Chains A and B, each alone.
Chain A
C-alpha cells in the first residue's frame, strides 16, 4: 500500500472515530491485551475507594470483598450482554447500540443518562484529585491554609486541560494514556498491602458503621453496590470495545479488565473506612507512613483519575456526536462541551457531590438496570440477533427503527416499569428497602421487569403494527 493510500485510510479512521461512525473491520485493530489494558486503566480509579467505603459501611473486610466481587462481575456481565454485541459487530458506541430498541430519536433517553452519568463520575474523579493535591501540599507545608481554597479549582482546571490535550487526536489518546498509566494499578495493590500489613488486627476486628441487624440485607447491599457500580460502565464500554474486531477478542478483557479491578481496588476503600474511618488513601497513607507515602498516594490518584477521565470524556464526546446539532461540530469544540460540565461541577458544587455519592450510585442502578434489561431482551429474544446497521444511522421516518415519531413506546414503558420496580425495592435516597430486596437485590429485578414489559408491548403492540423492523 502506498504511503498516500495509508494516509487516506488513517484520515478516514480518525474522521470515523471522532464522528461516532461505524468502524470497519480492518480499522478495529486492538487485540485482547491492548483492549484489556485500556479497560483496566479506565476501571481502576479513585472511585474504587469510595465504592469500597460504601460497602465498608455495611460489611466487614472479608464479606465486603466477596459481596462486592460477586456483584461487580454480575454487573459487568449484564453490561457486556446489553451493549456488547452491537458495538462489537458494527464498531459503534453504546449510544448507537440503543437505536434498535429505543428508536431513531428515542436514543436521546440513554444519551441523556450517559451524559449525566459520565459528568457525575468525572466530577468525582477530578474533585478527588484536587482535594488530594491540596491535602498533600498542606501536609508538606508548601501552601498555607488560606491558599488551599484556590488550589482546588486550579487543580481541577489543570486536570481538565490535560484530559483535553490527551484526546485531541481521538481514541488514540485513550490508548496512549493507558500504556503509561496502567502501572498505577500495581501501586494500588501496594497501598492495599501497606494497610493490611500494618493494621491487620484492627481490620479483622472492625465493625461496619451502618450495618443493619439483618446480615442478609447487609450482604445483599454489598452485592447491589457492586452491580450498580459496574452498570456505570455501560456508557464507557461501547466507545472502547468498538476498537476490537470481534466478541472473542473482547469477552475476557471486558470481564477481567473492566470487571475485576473494581472490587480488587475497592478493598483499599473497605480497609480504609473500617480501620481509619477514611477511604481516601491520600489521607490514611500519611497517617500510617508520613508525607512520603502521601506523595506516592497522590501520584496514584493523579494517574488513576486521569486515565479514567480520558476514557470518560472520549465516550461522552462520541455520545454527543449522535445529536444532530453536534454532528458537524469540530472535535475540539465537542471535547470542550464534554469537559465543560465537569469543570462547572468541580468549581461550584464539589461537596454536594461527595456528600451524595450513595444516592448517585443508586440512581445509576435505577436508570441503567432497566436499560440493560431492554437491550438484552430486544437483541437476543425479539430480534434474534438481526440488526440493520443502515437503520441505526438513518434518521428519518423511513428508518426501520422509527417506531412512533422516532420513539419506541415499548422502551419507554419498560424504563418506567423497571425504574418503578427498582424504586419499590430500594429507595435511592434513604436506602430503605422492601422485600424481596434482601434476596434478589434491586438491579436484577429492575432489569427483568423492564425486559418483560418491553417484550409484552413489542409482541402485542409494535409487532402487529409492523413497527420497529421486526
Chain B
C-alpha cells in the first residue's frame, strides 16, 4: 500500500527526485579543500609540532 505523505512533503520529494533539483556533491574544488585542510595540513603541523 502506498504511504500517504503530507502534500507539501510529497511535492518536495517529487522535485528532489530530479537530479537537476538536487544540490551538487563535493566537486574537485571541494575535495581539494577537504584533503588539503583535513589531511595534508594536519600531517605538516603534526611533524612540525613533534620537532618543537
Which chain A residues have a beta carbon within 8 Å of chain B's beta carbons? Answer: 12, 15-16, 19, 21-25, 28, 62-63, 65-67, 69-71, 73-74, 76-78, 80-81, 84-85, 88-91, 219, 223, 244-248, 250-252, 255-256, 259-260, 385, 389-390, 393-396, 398
Q: A70-B43, A70-B46 are in contact. Are A25 and B22 (CB under 8 A)?
A: yes
A246 and B23 form a contact (CB under 8 A): yes
- Kindly list 5 other residue pairs between chains A and B, CB separation below 8 angstroms, not including A16-B8, A89-B24: A15-B8, A67-B49, A251-B34, A252-B33, A259-B37
CB distance from A385 to the nearest CB of B (A): 7
A24 proximity list for chain B (CB < 8 A): 12, 15-16, 21
Are A88 and B25 in contact, with the CB atoms below 8 A?
yes
In the complex, the chain A residue whose C-beta lies closest to that of B19 is A89
Contact of A255 with B38 at beta-carbon distance under 8 Å, contacts A90-B16, A247-B30, A393-B9 already known: yes
Residues of B in contact with A, size category: 35 or more
Residues B49 and A248 in contact, CB atoms below 8 Å apart: no
| Residue from the list A21, A77, A90, A252 in contact with B22, Cβ < 8 A | A90
Q: Which residue in A21, A65, A219, A389 is a CB contact (below 8 Å) of B50?
A: A219
Q: Say how far B30's CB is from chain A's closest CB, in angstroms.
A: 4
Q: Cα distance A396–B3 when bound, in Å? A: 7
Question: Do A74 and B3 touch across chains, with their CB atoms under 8 A apart?
Answer: no
How far is B30's CA from A15's CA once the two chains are assembled, in angstroms?
A: 30
User: How far in angstroms is the closest Cβ of chain B from A217?
Assistant: 13
CA distance A47 to B30 in the complex (A): 28
Residues of A with C-beta under 8 A to B25: 85, 88-89, 246-247, 385
Q: Which residues of B contact A80 (CB under 8 A)?
A: 34, 38
Identify 10 residue pairs between A and B in the complex whose beta-carbon atoms are under 8 Å apart, listed by A's number. Answer: A21-B8, A24-B21, A63-B50, A65-B49, A74-B42, A80-B38, A245-B23, A247-B25, A260-B37, A398-B1
Query: Is the beta-carbon distance between A389 and B17 smaller than 8 angstroms?
Result: yes
Kindly provide the distance from the CB of A64 to the nearest chain B CB, expressed in whole angstroms.
9
Cβ contact of A66, chosen from B3, B8, B50, cutoff 8 A: B50
* Chain B residue with Cβ nearest A61: B52
| Interchain CB contact under 8 A, A395 and B3 | yes
CB of A22 within 8 A of CB of B16, answer: yes
Residue of A with least CB distance to B13: A390
Query: Can you name the residue of chain B whose Cβ is closest to the Cβ of A59?
Result: B49
Contact B49 A63 (CB under 8 A): yes
Evaluate contact between A88 and B23: CB separation under 8 angstroms: yes
A-side contacts of B33, CB under 8 Å = 251-252, 255
Q: Which of A22, A70, A78, A398 contacts B12 (CB under 8 A)?
A: A22
Say whether A246 contacts B24, CB under 8 Å: yes
Of all chain B residues, the one with the shortest Cβ separation from A392 is B13
- Shortest distance from the beta carbon of B22 to any chain A beta carbon, whole Å: 5
List residues of B whose CB falls within 8 A of some A CB: 1-3, 5, 8-9, 12-13, 15-17, 21-27, 29-31, 33-34, 37-39, 41-43, 45-46, 48-50, 52
Pairwise interchain contact A73-B42, C-beta atoms closer than 8 A: yes
Contact at B9–A21, with CB atoms within 8 Å?
yes
Taking CB atoms, residues of chain A closer than 8 Å to B39 are 74, 77
Across the interface, which residues of B come within 8 angstroms of A246, CB to CB? 23-25, 27
User: A24 CA to B50 CA in the complex, in Å?
Assistant: 47
Q: Which of A219, A244, A255, A396 contacts B37 (CB 8 A)?
A: A255
Given A28-B23, A247-B30, A389-B17, is A77 in contact with B9 using a C-beta cutoff of 8 Å?
Answer: no
- B46 contacts A89, C-beta separation under 8 Å: no
B52 and A62 contacting across the interface, CB-CB below 8 Å: yes
User: In angstroms, how far is the closest chain A Cβ from the Cβ of B45?
Assistant: 5
Are the C-beta atoms of B13 and A393 separated by less than 8 Å?
yes
Interchain CA distance A28-B48 in the complex, whole Å: 40
Q: Which of B1, B17, B34, B45 meets A77, CB within 8 Å?
A: B34
**Chain A: which residue is nearest B14 at the CB level?**
A390
**Complex interface: chain A residues within 8 A of B3 (CB):** 394-396, 398
Q: Top 8 A-B pairs ranked by shortest CB distance?
A: A66-B49, A77-B38, A251-B30, A70-B42, A247-B26, A246-B24, A255-B37, A246-B23
**CB proximity of B38 to chain A, nearest CB, Å:** 3
Distance of A239 from chain B, by nearest CB (Å): 15
- B37 (CB) vs chain A CBs: closest residue: A255
Write out the residue numbers on chain B whose beta carbons fall within 8 Å of the beta carbon of A66.
45-46, 48-50, 52
Decide if B30 touches A248 in the complex (CB within 8 Å): yes
Q: Which residues of B contact A70 (CB under 8 A)?
A: 41-43, 45-46, 49
Least CB separation from A80: chain B residue:
B34
Residues on A with C-beta less than 8 A from B43 are 70
The complex places the Cα of A67 from the Cα of B48 at a distance, in Å, of 10
Q: How far is the CA of A70 from the CA of B43 in the complex (A)?
A: 7
Which residues from chain B contact A74 at a C-beta distance below 8 Å? Answer: 38-39, 42
